[in-house]
A and B are shown apart, each in its own frame.
Chain A
């Protein structure tokens, strides 16, 4: 079985973001980078599937600048067999259609039985790339999965709906699935597996090797949202903060009355 998992590298969301000089993205220096949270579930599910079927090869793909290789190594340490890095220093300015077209172009050359993506990326968060790739390849896609199983060429899964109910869905491979938070328990790479991952193949190809459509949309500006509500911000010594909070609870609410 030939399996692909697509991952994106994103900044830690607890970072303090600044707008870049061009005004069209965040400043990408001084940020801690990690795997898009949704993609950790995708990698874990793909590795579990590989373990289940035995004879399988799992490729991890990521489009982005040089630094994304670090994140790809985590996927390799989690159990992916090899990596395909598509080098694109300007990946943050590509639209979802372009990212999807590049992935689809690569996938067409490799006949994957199953493709895993996250349901959305935490920084851009378009929730489009997975479905677009599947539509470009003409294969079914199941989205927002919180349960996944595979047997004899059929995927049976549960899609999460608002309110926490689920829709039971199934389709045949080849197919693509997009992974929602909580789908599984992503493993932590062990030290021996981190060492082993260093020897795994990690190829790089430039973006120019792939066909890309014309850009359909452009980020014209990125800005910090206006502070709404004007809530009170308290800082300082925790013991004093506790006193202040107690007073606020007494004065502003009736819950201690």
Chain B
């Protein structure tokens, strides 16, 4: 099978998701080439052919331009599968390619069988097995689902692509995530509040448990979006990545974007009223309980020794 991988580059760096694309292709046993709008100074660790457009000439974020360049490479390579990371770059560009080629797109693939692709649904509570009917398939891969093995260092065979015209969308630079606040990466214990806390006043009981354990409190995204906690406390894909000795997730369902930020924690306790909550997948212990009752009781016990 011929596979075209679409790599991802941002702000001077080729992103780590490229290695996951390569791992996916290796698992399929296919013949892979890669497309990247990036830089000669940041080549991916890949041994095949790399079609490379320079991001200064092709625009770092230029969906129309990238689409045009990629469609030309697809016309030349005739792959059966085009693979993107399921990321802000991938989910933006992939449907543009799928429509142009009348290809089916299957998003957020986590696994595959001989002739089907497996994707999560309903916040990972279910899996869906999908069969594609088109000759060309576009897929996006869930971050972390195809964790690369140690890949021998390699240099691709580079074929340079021309610049791209500016399209209908202007890109006017980046804005960094708000600086300052707490550095959760150093905390040994993190007690994290999810939407299950119900109201902002309940954050204080999460903070109290964190203090009793000499740790920091953190939060899932809805708690930060509601401005109950500051962004520097957010754990996940669009927040911080943490790896404490103990992570206590209170009222957090365990969406993939949250897990991505905390699954390296050494020991995970989840407190949740829903026995089926996906956080159970990564928790060493799931206490099925109302956090409003259990958290203060636990804090008192710890304080009392």
Contact = CB atoms under 8 A, between A and B. Distances in A.
A241 B169 CA distance: 54
A218 interface: yes
**Size category of the binding interface on chain A:** 35 or more
A231 B253 CA distance: 15
Interface stretch (B85-93, B156-164, B199-207): B85-93
A171 B300 CA distance: 55
B171 A167 contact: yes
Contacts of A199: none
B269 A224 contact: no
A246 B302 contact: yes
A217 B102 CA distance: 12
- Among A227, A231, A254, which residue has the most Cβ atoms of chain B within 10 A? A231
B297 A97 contact: no
Contact of A243 (B87, B176, B301): B301
A234 B131 CA distance: 38
Contact of A253 (B95, B267, B287): B267
A216 B138 CA distance: 11
B281 A182 contact: no
Interface string B120-150: 1111111111111110000010000000000
Nearest to B171: A169
Interface string A231-253: 11111001101111110110011
A246 B301 contact: yes
- Among B91, B107, B267, which residue has the most Cβ atoms of chain A within 10 A? B91
B125 A17 contact: yes
Contacts of A96: 95, 105
Contact of B122 (A17, A144, A231): A17
B122 A164 contact: no
B283 interface: yes
Interface string B93-115: 01110111011111110000000
A222 B126 contact: yes
B284 A168 contact: no
Given A172-B168, A217-B104, A159 B126 contact: no
Given A160-B238, A256-B213, A233 B286 contact: yes
A253 B92 contact: no
Given A14-B274, A124-B121, A216-B132, A235 B288 contact: yes
Contacts of B102: 216
Interface stretch (B40-48, B49-57, B73-81, B219-227): B219-227
Given A163-B238, A253-B245, A131 B123 contact: no
Interface string B33-70: 00000000000000000000000000001011000000
A169 B175 CA distance: 11
B131 A245 contact: no
Interface stretch (A42-50, A74-82, A134-142): A134-142
Contacts of A227: 280-281
Contact of B168 (A140, A167, A253): A140
Contacts of A120: 91
Given A234-B288, A253-B267, A256-B213, A221 B129 contact: yes
- Among B94, B134, B275, B302, which residue has the most Cβ atoms of chain A within 10 A? B302
Nearest to A161: B88
B214 interface: yes
Interface of A: 11, 13-14, 16-17, 19, 26, 95-97, 119-120, 122-128, 131-132, 135-136, 139-144, 158-172, 181-182, 185, 214-225, 227-229, 231-235, 238-239, 241-246, 248-249, 252-256
Given A14-B277, A165-B174, A234-B287, 8 more contacts: A14-B274, A122-B123, A127-B107, A160-B88, A164-B231, A167-B171, A241-B287, A242-B301
20 contacts: A16-B276, A17-B125, A125-B119, A136-B99, A160-B88, A164-B177, A166-B175, A167-B173, A172-B168, A218-B133, A220-B130, A222-B121, A227-B280, A228-B281, A231-B280, A231-B284, A231-B286, A233-B286, A248-B285, A255-B245
Interface of B: 10, 61, 63-64, 86-88, 91-92, 94-96, 98-100, 102-108, 116, 119-134, 140, 167-178, 188-189, 213-215, 221-222, 224-226, 231, 234, 237-239, 245-246, 253, 266-269, 274-277, 280-290, 293-294, 297-298, 300-302
